[in-house]
Structure 1
Amino acid sequence: MTERNLKGASLKVLVLGGTQFVGRHIVEALLGAGHRVSVLTRGRTPDELPGSVERLKGDRDEGKAGLAALEGRTWDACVDVSGYTPRQVRVSAELLRDAVQRYVFISTGSVYAEQHRHPIREDDPLLPEAAEDVTEVTGETYGPLKVTCERIVEEVYGERATILRPQIVAGPYDPTGRYTYWIDRVAAGGDFLAPGDGSDYVQVIDARDLARFVVTVLEEDIPGVFNLAGPRLSWREFVDVAREATGADARPVWVDADTLEAQDVGWRELPVWLPVDSEQGGLMDMSSERTRAAGLTLSDPLTTARDTRTWSAGRPQKTFLTREREAEVLAAREEQ
């Protein structure tokens, strides 16, 4: 590929993934900035992208044969949203080595080894790498796999690599429902279980802020490693934001960590809650100082909450803490 200056140019961008949540926001942001976009997907999930997007079909799990649609093509940049295993990332990175000028890899804040640090910065130690032949993505392998994927991208692209490490991503189109659960629960009104005493922290990144920063990285041709973290709110502040965003008459009932543990209620039922002094408490204190200096702009938390509720209203969401279980825990609290 003939190298050219990406700055100020209308770019041709390949997005690996692109129809769901983070990928969709990235595609929409690129189109909004006047760039041309191709996406490579397996074609198995609903696609609501504009007609101007070029659709390419492939399966990264099939090795080089699964990327046949990319052969003989060139783009100015690639944004890898769907790389979870070294097998997937190795083949795409090497195939596109001479076909793109910049490779942006969407990693995760879960790569850090010392997740109790406050704050977590980009130069902090990472988890031990997973072996390149590991293909099963679980809660235990997710972070180590992403560490290996980062190393592969940096090994293949050097200064042409950009690594983005978002924490929990929030906003419209979110299939995980983690942040959305709280907005919807507050919107339902009444007394609701709120974890801790309100002094822990919530920190998420709006998917649209992430997407805008991807555009900045491509337009400014920025290399490096960047944390993507939003405003850090106490849980009391977060609940107040949710109440204002929804206009609901919702009343938090704070339940301390000991009671929650006694009732066997943890992070699986209470998404995005990580006590500040827990082993993973630093994931709610990720520094975005470097990223903001490079051009990251952050949405007001009220905007994220309002837009998430506008999208989620009337749409079925994942169930975390059921109303019945919530009532049981609140009753146990009262009995103490």
Structure 2
Amino acid sequence: MQSRREFLSAGLATASLFALPVSAWGAPGRTPEPLRILILGGTGFLGPHFVEAARARGHRLTLFNRGKSNPTRFDGAEFADIEQLRGDRKSDLSALEGEREWDAVLDTSAYVPADVTRSAGLLAPRAKHYQIISTVSVYARNDVANDEDSPLAQLDDPAVTEVTGETYGGLKALCERAAEAAMPGRVTVVRPGLIVGPGDPTDRFTYWPARANRGGEILAPGSAADPTQFIDVRDLAAFMLHLIEGGTVGVFNADAPAGALTMGALLASCQAAATRANTINCVRAPCPQPPGHASTLTWVPADFLAAQAVSPWQDMPVWIPAEGDYAGFGRTRTERAQRAGLRHRPLDETVADALAWWRSLPEERQAGLKAGLSAEREAEVLAAWHARETVSEA
């Protein structure tokens, strides 16, 4: 999986591929009759949260996937109500052939437009609604606050099939276009920002609550006022289901409201969550160190981090300086999604639940964060920053 910074770094030309209208074939807000929902994928990170939300509402679910990512995720008598089909959207859709019908198809695994054309084309006569999960990385520019009608990325070679930092956004845009071509007027495009919360396999958000949990001096990037954006996976899943239940079609940026989140608020929430979690543990058992694993934040300017080869997003997750080519970072417009029913839980809840999930993982997994600076590298950069400050004061 590519980092968001790599996605945003793609030097892709400006172009608007298409625009979908916003309309509905159902009645949003009511408790629906059980729907037949086909999920392409469904066992990764977002998929299980959607499955949980849909089952809680009584919908009848069919999962179609290769059985390679978490293949036993829905095994057992508890999940006997879920139909699971095996196949490959690139080479074997035979399990989806026939006369069966679905009220909606949720495509969580669309990366190459030919795959979307193949699946949506096959299902078009037998499905009312096709929802495709895209990304805010589809936009051609990142120096502006994009809304759903902003120009989309365009690939120099639309036939490319390799997903890289340079092709990801353009391919996703073509996937959106392929879905609409196969099922005109019946497509919902959901463009999330960074998806975070319990179960995230990338650690691109979890780095911060995990880092606060370790305690000590924390290298904080830029300034506390720097904007950021992300969405709790459970809020995203609930919104996706809400759109399906209402039969709402159109394009929606699914992210935090622009300007609602800052790095300062995020890191303060992480510190508070770590303090609460460790204090509870000390109440339950003898505590080998002071409660809370006390931590402090040292804010280091972006130019110094750049000189130290500390990269935004990958080394310092969730953060990109909102300037220059990335002046629009943290400001993606989401008003359309808010009007359509997107709701967000409190930041403290997302952080606390992410930390609780992280602490439940095996020790070897906790020792191998997939994003962010290592403890050793963080100490080196902090030492260099303090040395510079000492020289400046002298």
The verdict on a shared fold, with TM-score over 0.5 as the criterion, is yes
What is the letter of the counterpart of residue 248 of structure 2?
A: I
Specify which of 147, 154, 167 is matched with residue 180 of structure 2: 154
What is the letter of the counterpart of residue 84 of structure 1?
A: Y
Using the TM superposition, name which of 283-292 and 160-169 deviates more: 283-292
Instruction: Give the equivalent residue in structure 2 for 1:20.
Output: 44
Q: Secondary structure at the match of 1:159?
A: coil
TM-score, normalised via structure 1 length: 0.94
Change over 3 Å in CA distance of 1:278–1:53 after alignment to 2: farther
Instruction: Give the equivalent residue in structure 2 for 1:256.
Output: 301
TM-score, normalised via structure 2 length: 0.80
Q: Secondary structure at the match of 1:96?
A: helix
Instruction: Verify: 1:269 aligned to 2:297, yes or no.
Output: no
**1:214-233 superposed Cα distances (whole Å, 9 cap, x missing partner):** 11111111010000012531
Instruction: Give the equivalent residue in structure 2 for 1:11.
Output: 35
Specify which of 161, 165, 168 is matched with residue 139 of structure 1: 165
**1:120-168 superposed Cα distances (whole Å, 9 cap, x missing partner):** 2111111114655322111111100001001111112121000000000
Between the aligned partners of 1:43 and 1:259, the Cα distance in structure 2 is: 46
Q: Secondary structure at the match of 2:297?
A: strand
Between the aligned partners of 2:325 and 2:349, the Cα distance in structure 1 is: 30
**1:286-306 superposed Cα distances (whole Å, 9 cap, x missing partner):** 121111111111111111111
Instruction: Give the equivalent residue in structure 2 for 1:37.
Output: 61
Specify which of 106, 110, 122 is matched with residue 83 of structure 1: 110
1:130–1:144: 8 Å Cα contact kept in structure 2? no
Which residues of 2 match residues 171-320 of structure 1 at below 5 A? Answer: 171-231=197-257, 232-247=260-275, 248=292, 249-267=294-312, 268-315=314-361, 316=365, 317-320=369-372
Specify which of 113, 116, 125 is matched with residue 98 of structure 1: 125
Q: In the TM superposition, what is the alpha-carbon distance from 1:188 to its structure 2 partner?
A: 1.1
Q: Give the RMSD, CA atoms, in angstroms.
A: 1.5
Instruction: Give the equivalent residue in structure 1 for 2:89.
Output: 60
Between the aligned partners of 2:169 and 2:304, the Cα distance in structure 1 is: 30
Q: Secondary structure at the match of 1:120?
A: coil
Change over 3 Å in CA distance of 1:313–1:196 after alignment to 2: same
Between the aligned partners of 1:130 and 1:40, the Cα distance in structure 2 is: 32
Between the aligned partners of 2:371 and 2:328, the Cα distance in structure 1 is: 26
* Gapped regions of structure 2 (runs ≥ 5): 1-24, 276-291, 389-394
1:87–1:132: 8 Å Cα contact kept in structure 2? no
Between the aligned partners of 2:321 and 2:338, the Cα distance in structure 1 is: 26
Which residues of 2 match residues 64-75 of structure 1 at below 5 A? Answer: 66-72=92-98, 73-75=100-102
Q: In the TM superposition, what is the alpha-carbon distance from 1:245 to its structure 2 partner?
A: 2.0
Instruction: Verify: 1:113 aligned to 2:158, yes or no.
Output: no
Instruction: Verify: 1:169 aligned to 2:195, yes or no.
Output: yes
* Gapped regions of structure 1 (runs ≥ 5): none
**1:55-108 superposed Cα distances (whole Å, 9 cap, x missing partner):** 11011222xxx1110001221100000011112111011011112100000000
1:190–1:250: 8 Å Cα contact kept in structure 2? yes
Q: In the TM superposition, what is the alpha-carbon distance from 1:319 to its structure 2 partner?
A: 4.3
Rg bigger for which structure?
A: 2
Give the % identical residues: 42
**1:267-299 superposed Cα distances (whole Å, 9 cap, x missing partner):** 221121111214234241112111111111111
Q: In the TM superposition, what is the alpha-carbon distance from 1:243 to its structure 2 partner?
A: 1.4
2:231–2:256: 8 Å Cα contact kept in structure 1? yes
What is the letter of the counterpart of residue 175 of structure 1?
A: P
Between the aligned partners of 2:326 and 2:48, the Cα distance in structure 1 is: 29
Q: In the TM superposition, what is the alpha-carbon distance from 1:251 to its structure 2 partner?
A: 1.0
Q: In the TM superposition, what is the alpha-carbon distance from 1:52 to its structure 2 partner?
A: 2.1
